[in-house]
A = this chain, B = another copy of it.
């Protein structure tokens, strides 16, 4: 089995160009003409790679580092071996990301497995669907009547785009995804296997049976949203389900019907958002947060992983726990219970905490 490289290295950048790009100051003696073509972690770097260090935890790797250049804050600069080009910068990770984006522009957005744009011979595109220039439709994609797809958008293999769906420009729709009843903006990335626009979960009980409530709303996804693999977004029942501009959603997240998520939010993996929730701009929901229905989460609020939100959250709050409460209070409660229950004595307790 050969070892492929999934991202091709281009000509790269000189250390001097990297210093210019990131505003870093080269350590005296650094070879500015040296060429950097890859990025790597400290313990994996080869001579053509750039690395960064911003945490004392990883200083142990520095003596043996083989990288061509290293971005570091002033405090770690002396620790970088002589043979490595050292670049001093206030925010090493941010600078590193800037370089990575320059070196691997094709990794900024999922790309097609086809060489060229255009529609694969075995895609099924309804004649009434309209496509702008430069759209790529991979094999076995099915596009329903009346759908519209903007310039430069990729619809990956085996995806299904329902009737009358609108997808904007420069989007990437992953393989095995289904999108229906949705209007999608520009530069939106939907990762593989997402299911967007199906019925929300709405029933009333009648005669000891559950009777379906028709779900006639839509899904609105604004510009620059990214949605992780296998995430579900139900269409609205009576109003629309909305995901605001620039919001980033991770894998396996559930977004219920009628819910509005604001702009530039972060929603981490396995989070579940019930129906009719309102999440304001810049909120952050860490992994596996659960939000009850009809809740409002204020602007910039942050919920720690696994938190359960059953009442409204004010703007800017930092909460965690079940139900969520201010993080300091939550941690104090955990400590209080531990104290009241007593410790197990040496063995098990010291095994479990460190």
Q: Which residues in A have some Cβ–Cβ distance to B below 8 Å?
A: 1-7, 39-41, 44, 93-94, 97, 100-101, 103-104, 107-108, 110, 113, 115, 120, 122, 124, 126, 138-140, 142, 144-146, 148, 150, 156-160, 162-166, 168, 174-178, 180-181, 183, 191-193, 195, 198-199, 201, 203-204, 206, 208-216, 218, 224, 226, 228-230, 232, 234-235, 238-239, 246, 248, 250-252, 254, 256, 264, 266, 268-270, 272, 274, 282, 287-288, 290, 292, 305-306, 308, 310-314, 316-317, 319, 322-329, 332-338, 340-344, 348-349, 351-354
A-B contact pairs, 24 of them (CB 8 A): A4-B165, A4-B183, A6-B164, A41-B238, A101-B214, A104-B214, A113-B163, A140-B142, A156-B160, A176-B178, A192-B195, A193-B195, A193-B230, A203-B266, A229-B232, A230-B230, A270-B270, A292-B305, A311-B354, A329-B338, A329-B352, A336-B337, A336-B341, A340-B340
Kindly list chain B residues whose C-beta atoms are within 8 Å of the C-beta of A139: 124, 140, 142
Complex Cα distance, B113 from A340, in Å, reads: 59
Please tell me if the beta carbons of B124 and A142 are within 8 angstroms of each other in the complex: no
CB nearest to A310 among chain B residues = B305
Complex Cα distance, B101 from A238, in Å, reads: 12
Please tell me if the beta carbons of A178 and B192 are within 8 angstroms of each other in the complex: yes
User: Which 9 A-B pairs give the minimum distances between C-beta atoms?
Assistant: A113-B144, A326-B348, A107-B214, A4-B164, A195-B229, A326-B352, A336-B341, A178-B192, A333-B341
Q: A97-B213, A108-B212 are in contact. Are A287 and B287 (CB under 8 A)?
A: no
Of the residues B183, B211, B230, B254, contact of A1 by C-beta under 8 Å: B183
Q: A44-B239, A290-B306 are in contact. Are A142 and B157 (CB under 8 A)?
A: yes
CB nearest to A7 among chain B residues = B216
CB nearest to A191 among chain B residues = B198
- Chain B nearest CB from A305 CB (Å) reads 6
Complex Cα distance, B322 from A324, in Å, reads: 13
- Chain B nearest CB from A193 CB (Å) reads 4
Please tell me if the beta carbons of A177 and B176 are within 8 angstroms of each other in the complex: yes
Please tell me if the beta carbons of B269 and A256 are within 8 angstroms of each other in the complex: yes
Complex Cα distance, B216 from A26, in Å, reads: 26
CB nearest to A43 among chain B residues = B239
Complex Cα distance, B156 from A178, in Å, reads: 10
A191, A203, A352: which has the most chain B beta carbons within 10 Å?
A352
Of the residues B100, B168, B352, contact of A319 by C-beta under 8 Å: B352
Please tell me if the beta carbons of B287 and A290 are within 8 angstroms of each other in the complex: yes
- Chain B nearest CB from A304 CB (Å) reads 9
- Chain B nearest CB from A20 CB (Å) reads 18
Kindly list chain B residues whose C-beta atoms are within 8 Å of the C-beta of A337: 333, 336-337, 340
Kindly list chain B residues whose C-beta atoms are within 8 Å of the C-beta of A270: 254, 270, 272, 290
CB nearest to A333 among chain B residues = B341
Please tell me if the beta carbons of A238 and B39 are within 8 angstroms of each other in the complex: yes
CB nearest to A287 among chain B residues = B272
Complex Cα distance, B226 from A248, in Å, reads: 30
Complex Cα distance, B232 from A191, in Å, reads: 11
CB nearest to A236 among chain B residues = B41
Kindly list chain B residues whose C-beta atoms are within 8 Å of the C-beta of A310: 305
Complex Cα distance, B97 from A122, in Å, reads: 42
